[in-house]
Structure 1
């Protein structure tokens, strides 16, 4: 599994801490982590939580990563921004239990974490435990296990609903947004290096190259 980490500007200073906790779990599982930043509050490319959604949607729909870890001060804004786009199912996760049940019941491809609200002493440990439970089992296995059949059925229904509720493809959506907003989402220091090395969708890749 390839995991993308994205931080917005209000919590950019925590990027090294979050990356370390994520890598600690991912390395044990043999997963790859791509750190898209922001890397510090002083980065020249400043991401808002809305741009987190744009960036995450591009990464997931292009197959440049299988899963996105992101967040903001409360995690709510980032969750709403990611869920504004097709091909993204993002859960709001505050605890290891949230992480486990989201993975097993909802089988999504992104989480939004609160990196300020309630993030006090032991916050780094909570992150590590969240990542451990999130990736502890294959996604979609159900919880409790006897509920696996209806839960998997509901996930398929949700996927079908999202296909119809998002009638435009991602590039068409990006073209209708403020060009500077979209371009800014891809302005990170290591974006091109990470994204184009793993992008599997030519249309999305060509569009992003055209605006950079």
Structure 2
């Protein structure tokens, strides 16, 4: 699957560490990683945690990505912004147990992680362990196993609930502040990765005309 990495401005200096930890786990498992930046704290295109959420919504709803790894200082801001988007089910992952349970119980399509709070010695090892728990198994198998069926039912109910409570992604794109949207997709490699992978021409067409 295609995994998108998004880093916001306060933690942009750590993008290389995060990207290396993610690719070292995901690529040997057969996954493809697209690094949407920010790449350094000095990038001309700057992403806030709010823009992380909007970009996550664009990537997942267009099927340009199957899964998004993002975060911020605490992970909370990006979590809230991601879950405001249609079709995005984002979990807060701090340690490998969080990663395992989110994958097995919730089977979501995005995670937000803290890249300042608790990010100390050997932090890259914790990242690798988290990514391994996210991507090495089959999501949604349930934990404990005997509750797998009810967990699957609840995921379906939640998906329907969110669809009823949110607009479709094109409507979101039209309604958000257009300067914010333009800044969100201004990253140096957005066009290279996104348009080659996008499977929703309505979303692609709207973004192109910006």
Aligned length: 210
Deviation at 1:169, TM superposition (A): 1.3
1:190-209 matched pairs, under 5 angstroms: 190-209=189-208
Paired residue for 1:119? 119
Work out the CA distance in 2 between the residues paired with 1:195 and 1:81: 20
Work out the CA distance in 2 between the residues paired with 1:210 and 1:138: 38
Deviation at 1:140, TM superposition (A): 0.6
Work out the CA distance in 2 between the residues paired with 1:111 and 1:8: 14
Work out the CA distance in 2 between the residues paired with 1:140 and 1:210: 38
Tell me the TM-score normalised to structure 1 length. Answer: 0.98
Deviation at 1:2, TM superposition (A): 0.7
Q: CA offsets per residue over residues 8-32 of structure 1, 9 Å max, x none? A: 0000000000000000001210110
- 2:36 aligned with 1:42, yes or no? no
Deviation at 1:136, TM superposition (A): 2.1
Deviation at 1:82, TM superposition (A): 0.3
1:1-212 matched pairs, under 5 angstroms: 1-166=1-166, 168-211=167-210
Work out the CA distance in 1 between the residues paired with 2:180 and 2:113: 23
Tell me the TM-score normalised to structure 2 length. Answer: 0.99
Q: CA offsets per residue over residues 145-178 of structure 1, 9 Å max, x none? A: 1110110111011011011111x21111121111
Work out the CA distance in 2 between the residues paired with 1:14 and 1:175: 32
Work out the CA distance in 2 between the residues paired with 1:93 and 1:43: 26
**Structure 1 consecutive aligned stretches of length 4 or more whose deviation exceeds 2 Å:** none
DSSP 3-state at the match of 1:82: helix
